[in-house]
Structure formats: structure tokens, C-alpha cells
Chain A
Amino acid sequence: AWLGVRLAISVSLLFTASAVFEDQVGKFDWRQQFIGKVRFALFDTHSQASKKLLVATDKNVFASLNSRTGDLFWRHLDKTGPEGHLDSLLMYGQDAVVVVGNGRLLRSWETTVGGLKWETVLDTGSFKAAALVGVQDLVKYVAVLKKTAISLHDLSSGGQIWVENLPDSDTVQYQTIYSEGNGLVFVLGLVPNSHVVIVEYKIEDGEIMNKKSIQAAWMSSLESSCAVISSGILLCVDQITQSLYTLPLQSVEQKEMKQIHLQTLDLEVASGFQPVLTSTQPNPAQPPLAEFFLQLNPDHHILLQLKDGLIAPLRDFNPSNLVAFATTGEKTVAAVMSPKNETACSINLFSADTGRRHLDTTIIYHLDPNVGKPNKLYVHAFLKKDDSVGYRVMVQSEDHTLTFLQQPGRVVWMREEALADVVTMEMVDLPLTGTQAELEGEFGKKAVVTDGLLPMVLKRLSSQFILLQAWLAHLWKLFYDARKPRSSVKNDEVTIENLSRDEFNLQKMMVMVTASGKLFGIDSKSGAILWRHYLENIQPNSGFKLMVQRSTAHFPHPPQCTLLIKDKDIGLASLHVFNPIFGKKSHSSVPALPRPILQTLLLPIIDQDYAKVLLLIDDQYKVTAFPSTKNILQQLQDTASSIYFYLVDSSQGKLSGFRLRKDLSTELIWEVVIPTEVQKIVAVKGKRGNEHVHSQGRVMGDRSVLYKYLNPNLLAVVTESTDTHQERSFVGIFLIDGVTGRIVHEAVQRKARGPVHFVHSENWVVYVYWNSKFRRNEFSVLELFEGAELYNSTVFSSLDRPRPPQVLQQSYIFPAGISTLEATLTEKGITSRHLLVGLPSGSILSLPKLFLDPRRPEVVSEQTREENLIPYAPEMPIRTEWFINYNQTVSRVRGIHTAPSGLESTCLVVAYGLDIYQTRVFPSKQFDVLKDDYDYVLISSVLFGLFFATMISKRLAEVKLLNRAWR
């Protein structure tokens, strides 16, 4: 047995070289970090030179961006889900105060380095509002309003000064806090369509100074229709009565809100539009400004001023899309974005107190159809040397893009935050270069048929000439670059024009589909975004399925991808057909899909233009073909009887199989029903279509062959028990043939529960589950074998495989959590497989499949040693050198995509979650590539040396022979 351990060590040593060397860092991998859709953004106005931009996002990320470059200074990730939800972001000086998890925690961050200054656990209760409270021009406190209580905390230490219950909190909905530095905090509440409640608290001890209720029968929400302006005057707007209402918060005598008809101001709110008031309070210790914006319809804003109890318009902005206030020093300005023409908007600066336009402050914002409409404006104002106000703006658009602009319209940076939520992706080969394509075209089939001998010769000569030209140009470029100093030679910037396939097909186009409906084309080598396409009117919870209908291999036909967008609620689907290299929408006519689509099927049947046919099955089991040319339909008819598909209805636990009929209708041929009372289907996975298996079997120690059960139609179905008690819960694994519906294997993992991650490939299934008895993650591997002889070695048919396969299974303990699981994929499948495990810590582990082999013996014998089987050990090792992303953690990794490259040894890996990380892995090391530090000089000098040595010795031998002959 000692030998066995030694063998284990020696075998495991085979894999130790999978880590990268220090000088390889960043050579073929890159990472991009994202933050998600911005909900709060604040510029640091503390000092003029500050470059900080603080953001809090819907992904529960709190970060600081460099406003000059858009890079991250630091980023903090909170828990996912509502527990880490960022409710509010306030900033004062160097401190940023954040309320987290629906009022669970109050935190203060130091903004320069992102350190946590203090954290306070708040009392329970759902969060309503938070505000900074100042006393005598100094901000000292932060007030947090919950549903039933208000608490005041010290800004420097987080200590709670006082907490008070709110009066009548069961009937009154308290919504906002207001303070203006006069020693009082106002809490505003509302009984909808009845009255407004105003409670005054003393800052020192939380004593209620005053409480009053004001009739406001028209009001349904305070937050959306009211604002406080100019020394404590509550201003509300109502669409139905077309009026503004004012009320001084502190007045004792006024018992009613003063109504001001909008008509008297010559204004009118568009019907059905909830008017919006925008006010500004530059310093929390001082009253807000008397000026405010009123939005009358989606593109009409008006700047108004309250003076001596009267409201007067200062400036009418019609049309205007977005407005925002900004303050620098003592000056407050308003930035207004108004449409200029079809393709551009202009942003101008106006002084808030007069409404006068600042000269030379126009920023032109170009509307990009691929970016989406702007929906929020953040202004960073600063004082120039001549004391005039300068500004930069950050525009947030529908697709979560952030664009930072400065005068006169230069885009300083852009962040594509849609990429923080990648749903699915594909990797597409890049096209050939022009010259390569030229050669391809010459020997195309059509050319041979149409042209005669002479034109062919000429064509050949011309293409050779083009090649020569390209080669000379390449040489010239090399020569030219070599003369320049090293530093000025920039890496070739990848643009969409010079995209071409490299020698080993290592550079590919990553087509990424994001949840917001934005598609990206990213160069896998550099990570540069080469194209983007924004699909408008995508429902937020849509499902996406991306398919490559035609690869790049069919010159001159462009590659073609099809995206199926499915609305989760109503199930209706639509198709978006595009060119994955350029992102352009294809002109081909897309079939109308009036019924919900249940299943899609990409068949290897191709049209004359080499596009694979896509079958879409709707809820009446009717089949729509795309493309549906005559030729395709003919082929479909011919092969209809051999086209099978399956449907999964997890709500009823039903798996059903259908066969295509000649008239493109379908017939039900098998049914498997897993009762939902006991277990529910959580996932169904087939095998990947582009997977190759090189060897049919495994050679065993006694030189016999164990043949693999390679059923391409096999489905792995995973179920979880409805009973979640830790003793009775289980995870079910069913292997079902997708053509015949035959249950090839069914296994139950007892005392286990999900989430289950699994990979189904070749003849094996690997799944991970949570062992609820021992409270640990466990791996289990199932391998299927036909046995010592193949039933039919030439072709596999699900219809003709009477004997069930032998199933081997083994389980292991995995000492870490798991976020996602994927297997490596190579061109020919010769390279050994690795499993890529995304860990919650952000690391990606490349785990050799060799460790997940159900044939690992418990007792080592001569034969198992011959076979290189590692002796069984219950715990799966985790070696640090197996982490393929060294220190480049991928936060919240949700998926890993693998794609083969032109080199058999190399597999391209993209991990996505909040971040995107791309790298290459070499599961069997780089057996087909020379090492980076390969000594060319030595080998060539040895070669030349030997060559000359033979030449010289030959000459010497001749001389010697001659001399001997003379003798």
C-alpha cells in the first residue's frame, strides 16, 4: 500500500505544472471588472482636484470610480439578494454613509481608500429614508427613518444618539426626513388620500416638539409628488387638480395647504403623466434653494422659483429630456439635456437662481442607436480659475451604460455595465483575411465549373501576386517597426477592420448576451468591445438562447447567429438574426412566431448557403423551420422520420418525446412522468454538440478494452425531493435516452439536496450536491460503459442498443463551495479533460477528470497501476496551482464557457459573473507548442555546428584518402 501512496504522489506530480509563471501573467488572460446598474452616484465635491465618483448599484456593489478614466479605485461587494441591498448613499466630506439590507446596517466608509470606518446594526423595521442632519452649518448626524421609528446616529462614530417611535405608525406611512440645520428634524408621513402628518423632533434628545396633520385628500404618495424647498416649505404637485400646493413646515397657524393652480402660471401637466419635482439642498445644514424643476411631461421641464410665497417661472425648457442640479462652492447650476436633432442631444448649463444660460457650456451628446436612450444625468460642477463654473456630466442610459463627457462633447470614458449580467455566450471563429479569402474563392466549386483553363491560370497568377504583395507589406512593416524605439511600437490595436483568424485560431469573437438585452462582440485576445447592439423592448426577465447557425467556415457566406428571446411570463418568443463578427442584424426574413416556443432544435441539415436549419416547436407541437426554403423543407421531409425531440414540463414532472412527421407536424412517441409530489425536475442537460470524443474505449491493465457508452442522445435529468428534511431529502439522477425515452440509469443520492451543478459529457456525468447529513459539498461521478465489446461499432443508434450500459459511480468530498461547473473542450478530444469549478471565493479551479474516475481502486494492484489509476481517496484535493486565475478573482462567477481552439492542447475559457475573465487552459500541458523559453539559438547553433563539422570532416577525409592513395 505504501507503493500505492507513492504512485499517487507520482501521478499527481504530473499535473503540478498547470499554473502560470510570473512572466506569463496577463499574457493570454484578461479580466474586466464591472459594478452593475448604477442606482446612486455622487461626485466627491469635497476638494476641487478630487477624481472620486462614488456609486452604489443594483448588484449590491459599492464602489469608487476614477472620474478621469472610469477605472475602479476600489469596490466592495455586499451579499447578493435583498440582504445586501444598498438602500441609500449619502456623502459628506470624506465619509460616505450607506444603509444596507433594507435598513439592517448603517455603514460609514472612508472614500479615499475604501476602508470601513464604522458599522452599526440598526433596529429591525423596513427602511424608508435616510438623511444627513446638520447643526449650525456642520453636519454631525445621520437620521434613519424606518417604518415605525426614527433614529439619529453620530456621523463620526456611528453611535446611536437616540431612537424614537413614530406616533400612529400603524396608520401613517412615514416616508421622508427633512432637516435644515436649525436643531429640528422633520418627519413627513402620509395617510393616503386623507392627510399629511408632520412630526418635529428636537435633535438633542429626540423630543417631539410639534405634531400636526394637514388635509390633503388628493395625495397618494409623498415621495413621488413632493419636495421641500426654500427654508422649509413643503411643495407638492398634483396632476388631477393641475395644481401646486405649498405648506411651511414650521408654521403653526396654517392648517391647510395653499393651492396654486398651474393655469395661473400658464402651465399644464400632460394627461396621465405623474409630474416630478426636483429640488436641491447643497448643504444638509442649510435650507434648500428656492428654485426647483417641475417636469410637466416626459420631455418638458420648467425651472420655477418660490419668492415671497409666490411661484414664478424662471425658464421654460421645452423640449428637454433630463435635468440635474449641481453645486460647486457657493454656486448652484442646473444642467439641462435637450434634443438637438435625430442623432444628438445638447447639454447646457444654467445658473439656478436666475435661469440664465452660461456661455460656452454646451456639451454635445451623440445618441448611439446601440447605447439606448439616456435616462439619468449626473453633473460634476467645478470652479474654473476665472471663477466661472465648468462641468462634466455622466449620462446613464437604458442599457446601464455610463458615459462620461466633457466639453465640447468628448467622451472621456464609457462603462458598459450591462456586461455585469451576462446571460449566455458563444465563441465564434474570426473570418479569414482578404488574401486568404481570395485563395478560398479561387478554388471554390463554382469557379471550377464556370471558368476555363486560361482564366484559371490567370486567376492563379493574380492570387499569387496578391499573396506576394501581402508578404512584402508584412516584411516592410516588420522592418519599419524594428527601426522605431521599442516603447513607441504599440500593440496592434484590434479593430473590426483588421480582425482575422490567427494561425492557431486562438483569437475568437466572444458574443455575449446580457440580461438588459444588449449584445456584445468582444475580442477574446484583448477584451476590447468590437461591437455592441442594443435590443430595445426586451422584458427584464426574458430568457435567451444563442445559436450559431452558420460558422465562419463557409466563405463567402457570412457567419450567422440566431438569438431566441423568450418572454418568461407569456412565453412568446422572437428571433434576432445577426452576424456575430460585425454585430449587424441580418436581412434574412425571420418567421413570425405567434405561439409560445417550447423547444428549439438546431439540425445539421444545411441549405445551399450552409446555414443550419433551426426547428422551433410551439405549444401546440407544431414545428416552424428557419430558414424555410424549398430545399430545406424537402430535406426535412426526407429525414423527418429520424428527427426526434423531447420536451420537459417541470411543473408536471413530465418528459415527453416526439417524432417529426413529413408534414412538419409531430407525434408523441414516449412519455416519462416523475411525480411532482415526491421530486421535481430542476435541470435537464444533453451533451454539447461540438464535442468530440477521440477514443472509443479505455485500455485496461490486462490490455483488454472497456468500451465507452457514447450515446449522443443521452439526457441527464436532475431532480430534487420536495421533502427538505435533512434525513429524507434526496437528489435524483436520471439518464434518459432522448430518442426512445428509455431510462438508462436512475440513481438516488440520499440525504442530499441542491443546488446541484452538473456536467454531462462523453460517457460521464459529474454532479455536485450538498450532503445535508455531513454538511459538506460532494462530487459524484457516473461513467457508462458498454463493456468489453461494442454492440455496433460503426454507428450509434438509440433505436438499436438493446443492452443497458454498465454504470460505475463513485463519490468524493469537495472541501469548498461551488458556484458553477464546466468541462474543458478541445478540438479533437485527445487532450485529457479537466473540470473547471467556479468557487464562491472567485477562484476558478481546474480539476483533472482523472481524480473523478469511478474506477479509482481502493486497493492498488498491478493492473490498476498499469492503467495509471489513482488510488481512491475520499477527499478531493485542492491545489493552489490548479487555480487558473491566480489572483484575478472573478466575483460572483455565474457561468463558465469553454471553446476549443485550433491547437489540440488548448482550450479557451471565459468565466463570467460580475466580472469577466478570459484565459486559456492546457489540460495536458502544451504538448503541441514549443515553450516560451525554448532555446532557438542553442538548437540552431548545434545544428549549424554539426553541419559544418560534417562538411569539414568530409573535406579532411577526402584529403586523407587522397594522400593515402598517393602513398
Chain B
Amino acid sequence: MATIRDLSVILTVLSTITLLWPESGECNNGRRSGDGIDTDFSGFSVPIEHSFEVDDVPRFRLRGAIQFRGGRESSVYLAQNQLSEKDRNTLKDVAAVDGLYRIRVPRVSLQADRQSERQHDGHLTAFVRACSLVESHLSDVITLHTDVSGYVIGVSIVTIPGSCRGIEDEDEVDLEVFNTTIGVVAPVTAPVPETAPYIERMEQEMEKKGKNPQEQKSFFAKYWYLILGGAVFLMATNSAQTPPGGDREQS
């Protein structure tokens, strides 16, 4: 079972190119985001395997290869096989018993210079419900997640749409060709407190205030007449009241 399907049928069926890499940061305010890692991929590929069994015991076989192209606009493609008649039937059976469709990729580094020291210590797996794969007519999104050093740490697969409505799928042709979007996501650099723009803004405000001479005047300069008037009034009332009090104290 685990043998590779008829090699003759290898059709580079689909290769949607979406490298989510450089703009993966969805940070607000359009601030500096994911400056990712400065690496280039010279052409190499990573195998992707899948498994779908009615008894739910994983037996992985090759689905395709993720190809990385080097150069300035590094891009990623997925070259994959068509599903055979037998596979299609198995997938439908798995979907009928609500089984899982699993994929796995080896743990490798995506950095070209690290390819030599690439060690094969295990795989990363992900799954999707087989029924949703069937109902979405094999359209899925596979994303490879890397860490800061470009090492693959996880893989995820979702189908679009992702739901399982249990509608019987009659159109067999749909289940032959994968309609896959593949992407690689590196960690986003989290923002740090933005002190510089804030200070700039504050300074601008100060300047604006400075331009307005009305506001620049000091409190006394603005209200000197009121204060003086108040003081005169107080003095007047005090001098009017004190004599009788003073007299009483003396007597």
C-alpha cells in the first residue's frame, strides 16, 4: 500500500504560488512587521505525504513535493500527483466513516545553507476531516510554519469550505485534481513600544501651542486686571471691617 503510485501519472497538476512570507505580519497601523529571515532558497524540494485509511491506521504515501525556488523573489510550488481511482474510492469510504485525511512533512530547515546539515529526525503531521476534503472537491490550503531560523516547526491543512454537510458527492471528476494553495509562514516580529513617533507627536503639539501667542501668555499676564481688582476689593473690605474689631479688642 505504501508504495508510490504509478509514476507515469505524475502530473504537475497544480502549483499555486502564494508565498505569504514577506507580508505575513498583520500588524495594525502598518507598522514594521515580519522582517522574516534573510535567506534564499535555491531550488530544493520537500516531500509531502498523505494517508487516509478506513481503519484509521496511518500509512503514509507520497502526495507530492513542495519545491522552493531560489532567487530574489523566492517562491514555493507544490508538484503533486493526481488521485487514482482506487484512492478516490478509499477517500470517499473514509469520508463516509468520518475518518481523517492526514498529511506529513519531514522536519527540515528551509534555509538553503542549512540543507547540508539537514537531519531527518521525524515528521510533522496535520489532519483534516476526510469528508470536508471530499465536499470541498479537494481544494485545500497547506501552510508550513517555520521558526526564526527557518526550521519547519509545524504544518497545517484546511479545506475551503471547511464544513462537512454530509451531502453526497456525485461528481467523480472533482476528486481527481488537488486545488492546493501552499504557503510558508515565518514568525512575525512583534512590535515594541513606539516611543519615537509619540515624542514626535508631542513635540508637534508643543510647537502648535507655541505658534499661538494667546496661549503662550502666562496666567498673570492674562488676568492681571481681575487679580488686581480682586485684591483692591479685598483690601477695601478689610480696612472697612477691621477698626471696630480692633477697638473691641483694646477695650
Name A residues whose Cβ lies closer than 8 Å to a Cβ of B.
1-2, 5, 641, 659, 667-675, 678-679, 730, 732-733, 736, 740-743, 745-750, 771, 778, 780, 792, 799-802, 806-813, 854-855, 857-859, 872-875
CA distance A673 to B145 in the complex (A): 10
Determine which of B98, B107, B147, B201 lies in contact with A1 in the assembled complex, contact meaning CB atoms within 8 Å: B201
Nearest residue in A to B144 (C-beta to C-beta)? A743
- Contact between B26 and A730, CB atoms less than 8 A apart: no
Per-position 1/0 for B128-158, Cβ under 8 A of A: 1100100000000101010111010110101
Name B residues whose Cβ lies closer than 8 Å to a Cβ of A.
26-29, 56, 98, 100, 102, 107, 122-129, 132, 141, 143, 145, 147-149, 151, 153-154, 156, 158-164, 185-195, 197-198, 201, 204-205, 208-209
Determine which of B156, B162, B190, B195 lies in contact with A733 in the assembled complex, contact meaning CB atoms within 8 Å: B190
Nearest chain A CB to B58 CB, angstrom units: 8
Given contacts A780-B190, A809-B190, whether A855 and B28 have CB atoms under 8 Å apart is yes
- Contact between A741 and B195, CB atoms less than 8 A apart: no
Given pairs A670-B126, A675-B151, A800-B161, 12 additional interface contacts (CB within 8 A): A672-B145, A674-B153, A678-B148, A679-B148, A740-B156, A748-B190, A800-B132, A802-B160, A811-B193, A855-B28, A857-B29, A872-B198
CA distance A806 to B145 in the complex (A): 17
Nearest residue in A to B149 (C-beta to C-beta)? A678
Determine which of A673, A806, A859, A874 lies in contact with B193 in the assembled complex, contact meaning CB atoms within 8 Å: A874
- Contact between B158 and A802, CB atoms less than 8 A apart: yes
Nearest chain A CB to B65 CB, angstrom units: 20
| Complex contacts, A799 vs chain B, CB 8 Å | 128-129, 132, 162
Nearest chain B CB to A199 CB, angstrom units: 60
| Complex contacts, B192 vs chain A, CB 8 Å | 749, 771, 778, 811
Given contacts A732-B148, A742-B158, whether A673 and B107 have CB atoms under 8 Å apart is yes
- Contact between B126 and A742, CB atoms less than 8 A apart: yes
- Contact between A675 and B194, CB atoms less than 8 A apart: no
28 sample A-B contacts, Cβ–Cβ < 8 Å, listed by A number = A2-B209, A669-B100, A671-B125, A672-B154, A673-B122, A675-B149, A679-B147, A733-B190, A736-B154, A740-B127, A741-B125, A743-B185, A746-B145, A746-B186, A747-B187, A747-B188, A749-B189, A799-B132, A800-B161, A800-B162, A800-B163, A801-B158, A802-B161, A807-B27, A809-B190, A811-B190, A858-B198, A873-B198
CA distance A718 to B169 in the complex (A): 43
Determine which of B129, B153, B197 lies in contact with A672 in the assembled complex, contact meaning CB atoms within 8 Å: B153
| Complex contacts, B129 vs chain A, CB 8 Å | 799
CA distance A732 to B132 in the complex (A): 32
Nearest chain A CB to B199 CB, angstrom units: 9
Nearest residue in A to B209 (C-beta to C-beta)? A2
CA distance A24 to B209 in the complex (A): 44
CA distance A1 to B202 in the complex (A): 9
User: Which A-B residue pairs are the 3 nearest by beta carbons?
Assistant: A672-B154, A742-B156, A800-B162
Total contacts A-B at CB 8 Å: 153
CA distance A873 to B205 in the complex (A): 14
Nearest residue in A to B186 (C-beta to C-beta)? A746
| Complex contacts, A792 vs chain B, CB 8 Å | 163
Nearest chain A CB to B119 CB, angstrom units: 10
Nearest residue in A to B204 (C-beta to C-beta)? A1
Nearest chain A CB to B139 CB, angstrom units: 10
Nearest residue in B to A653 (C-beta to C-beta)? B153
- Contact between A807 and B26, CB atoms less than 8 A apart: yes
Given contacts A741-B156, A800-B162, A858-B29, whether A750 and B189 have CB atoms under 8 Å apart is yes
- Contact between B28 and A808, CB atoms less than 8 A apart: yes
Output the residue of B153, B188, B208 with the most chain A CB within 10 A.
B153
Determine which of A746, A802, A811 lies in contact with B159 in the assembled complex, contact meaning CB atoms within 8 Å: A802
- Contact between A809 and B201, CB atoms less than 8 A apart: no
Output the residue of B98, B143, B147 with the most chain A CB within 10 A.
B147
- Contact between B27 and A808, CB atoms less than 8 A apart: yes
| Complex contacts, A748 vs chain B, CB 8 Å | 148, 187-190
Nearest chain B CB to A578 CB, angstrom units: 40
CA distance A2 to B160 in the complex (A): 48
| Complex contacts, B204 vs chain A, CB 8 Å | 1
Given contacts A671-B123, A673-B107, A673-B124, whether A810 and B154 have CB atoms under 8 Å apart is no
Chain A interface, >50% SS class = strand
Nearest chain A CB to B33 CB, angstrom units: 9
- Contact between A854 and B28, CB atoms less than 8 A apart: yes
| Complex contacts, A2 vs chain B, CB 8 Å | 205, 208-209
- Contact between A673 and B156, CB atoms less than 8 A apart: no
Determine which of A671, A801, A808 lies in contact with B162 in the assembled complex, contact meaning CB atoms within 8 Å: A801
| Complex contacts, A741 vs chain B, CB 8 Å | 125-127, 154, 156
- Contact between B189 and A670, CB atoms less than 8 A apart: no
| Complex contacts, A873 vs chain B, CB 8 Å | 198
- Contact between B194 and A858, CB atoms less than 8 A apart: yes
- Contact between B156 and A810, CB atoms less than 8 A apart: no
- Contact between A670 and B187, CB atoms less than 8 A apart: no
CA distance A859 to B102 in the complex (A): 47
Nearest chain B CB to A648 CB, angstrom units: 14
| Complex contacts, A743 vs chain B, CB 8 Å | 143, 145, 153-154, 156, 185
- Contact between B147 and A874, CB atoms less than 8 A apart: no
CA distance A400 to B185 in the complex (A): 53
- Contact between A641 and B98, CB atoms less than 8 A apart: yes
| Complex contacts, B125 vs chain A, CB 8 Å | 668-671, 741
CA distance A743 to B125 in the complex (A): 12
| Complex contacts, B186 vs chain A, CB 8 Å | 746
Given contacts A673-B153, A747-B189, A778-B192, whether A732 and B147 have CB atoms under 8 Å apart is yes
Determine which of B151, B158, B188 lies in contact with A746 in the assembled complex, contact meaning CB atoms within 8 Å: B188
CA distance A5 to B209 in the complex (A): 13
| Complex contacts, A875 vs chain B, CB 8 Å | 193
| Complex contacts, B26 vs chain A, CB 8 Å | 806-808
- Contact between B148 and A810, CB atoms less than 8 A apart: no
CA distance A678 to B145 in the complex (A): 15
| Complex contacts, B148 vs chain A, CB 8 Å | 678-679, 730, 732, 748
| Complex contacts, B29 vs chain A, CB 8 Å | 857-858
Given contacts A748-B188, A809-B191, whether A802 and B98 have CB atoms under 8 Å apart is no
CA distance A771 to B143 in the complex (A): 31
CA distance A802 to B156 in the complex (A): 10
- Contact between B126 and A740, CB atoms less than 8 A apart: yes
| Complex contacts, B141 vs chain A, CB 8 Å | 802
- Contact between B147 and A674, CB atoms less than 8 A apart: yes
- Contact between A874 and B154, CB atoms less than 8 A apart: no
Given contacts A678-B149, A858-B29, whether A802 and B190 have CB atoms under 8 Å apart is no
Nearest chain A CB to B98 CB, angstrom units: 7
Nearest chain B CB to A818 CB, angstrom units: 15
Nearest residue in A to B193 (C-beta to C-beta)? A874
Given contacts A679-B147, A748-B190, A874-B194, whether A667 and B126 have CB atoms under 8 Å apart is no
Nearest residue in B to A1 (C-beta to C-beta)? B205
CA distance A5 to B208 in the complex (A): 14
Nearest residue in B to A669 (C-beta to C-beta)? B127
Nearest chain B CB to A855 CB, angstrom units: 7
CA distance A673 to B26 in the complex (A): 24
- Contact between A874 and B156, CB atoms less than 8 A apart: no
| Complex contacts, B191 vs chain A, CB 8 Å | 780, 809-811
| Complex contacts, A812 vs chain B, CB 8 Å | 193
CA distance A792 to B185 in the complex (A): 25
- Contact between A809 and B27, CB atoms less than 8 A apart: yes
| Complex contacts, A778 vs chain B, CB 8 Å | 192-193
| Complex contacts, B161 vs chain A, CB 8 Å | 800, 802
- Contact between A671 and B124, CB atoms less than 8 A apart: yes
Nearest chain A CB to B17 CB, angstrom units: 19
Nearest residue in A to B109 (C-beta to C-beta)? A675
CA distance A807 to B126 in the complex (A): 22
CA distance A675 to B194 in the complex (A): 31
| Complex contacts, B198 vs chain A, CB 8 Å | 858, 872-874
Given contacts A1-B201, A809-B190, whether A667 and B56 have CB atoms under 8 Å apart is yes
Determine which of A641, A675, A874 lies in contact with B195 in the assembled complex, contact meaning CB atoms within 8 Å: A874
Nearest chain A CB to B28 CB, angstrom units: 5
CA distance A827 to B190 in the complex (A): 33
